A and B are shown apart, each in its own frame.
Chain A
């Protein structure tokens, strides 16, 4: 399936784009998505370890399985306030 990953803040700046489209297998996990994301946007490699993933507006752990139509975002640790 194809997923448009939204990028924010330093992740977007590093990637040079606000959306990164990745292709992953059916029943792929967040961990698989991370791998594909770095492969598709190699500039993100330097912050790969700190990147957070949110699926449908909730933080997602690496073992979470992705479904067709999921809304996925990837971003660095937050710093509001």
Chain B
């Protein structure tokens, strides 16, 4: 299950999508909208995606993860549009025979989405300001993962 959607994320649906008799471990990660990043107070976020490429990116990332960690199933849902504090922006679920690969694959999938998948967030602050969040020093290379660092840490999930 891979999806980019304006609708609220159903965590039961995404979790059940990866449950399987061959799996002894299911890991679910949720990225949620956080209020404070240091001294900055967020009031809401708005996510935008280049949907066609974002879905292709999610397919490529999960394909690679499934092969690398011998996953049983994987699912990613990313929400777009306006989100309020506490809302779920992204859900990543994976299942595997044992827990180690499931934890590792979930982390890697989320890290790689943040580096590669064409989705952007606009942050609306409590003081009335609004700005697009984007990392700096991103180097586009078609053949390898891009290395990025982040201007500030105002991201919803970490």
A, B bound: yes
Which A residues have a C-beta under 8 Å from some C-beta of B? Answer: 6, 8-10, 13, 50, 52-54, 57-61, 64, 73, 75-81
| B11-54 near A? 1/0 per residue, CB < 8 Å | 00000000000000000000100000000000000011110111
Number of CB contacts from chain A to chain B under 8 A: 99
Which B residues have a C-beta under 8 Å from some C-beta of A? Answer: 31, 47-50, 52-54, 56-57, 78, 89-90, 110, 113-122, 132-136, 138, 140-142, 146, 148, 155-158
Give the chain B neighbours of A54 by CB distance below 8 A.
Answer: 50, 53, 118
- A73-B50 contact, Cβ under 8 Å, with A52-B140, A61-B142, A64-B142: yes
Interface residue from A6, A50, A64, A81 paired with B138 (Cβ < 8 Å): A50
Tell me the smallest distance from the CB of B63 to a CB of chain A, in Å.
Answer: 14
Tell me the smallest distance from the CB of A57 to a CB of chain B, in Å.
Answer: 4
Report the Cα distance A9→B133, complex, angstroms.
10
Question: Do residues A10 and B132 form an inter-chain contact, with CB atoms below 8 A?
Answer: yes
- A52-B53 contact, Cβ under 8 Å, with A78-B116, A80-B78: no
Question: Do residues B132 and A80 form an inter-chain contact, with CB atoms below 8 A?
Answer: no
Give the chain B neighbours of A80 by CB distance below 8 A.
Answer: 47, 49, 54, 78, 89-90, 113-114, 117-121
| 14 extra A-B contacts, CB within 8 A, seeds A10-B120, A81-B113 | A8-B118, A10-B134, A50-B138, A53-B140, A54-B118, A57-B53, A61-B141, A78-B116, A79-B135, A79-B155, A80-B90, A80-B113, A81-B114, A81-B119
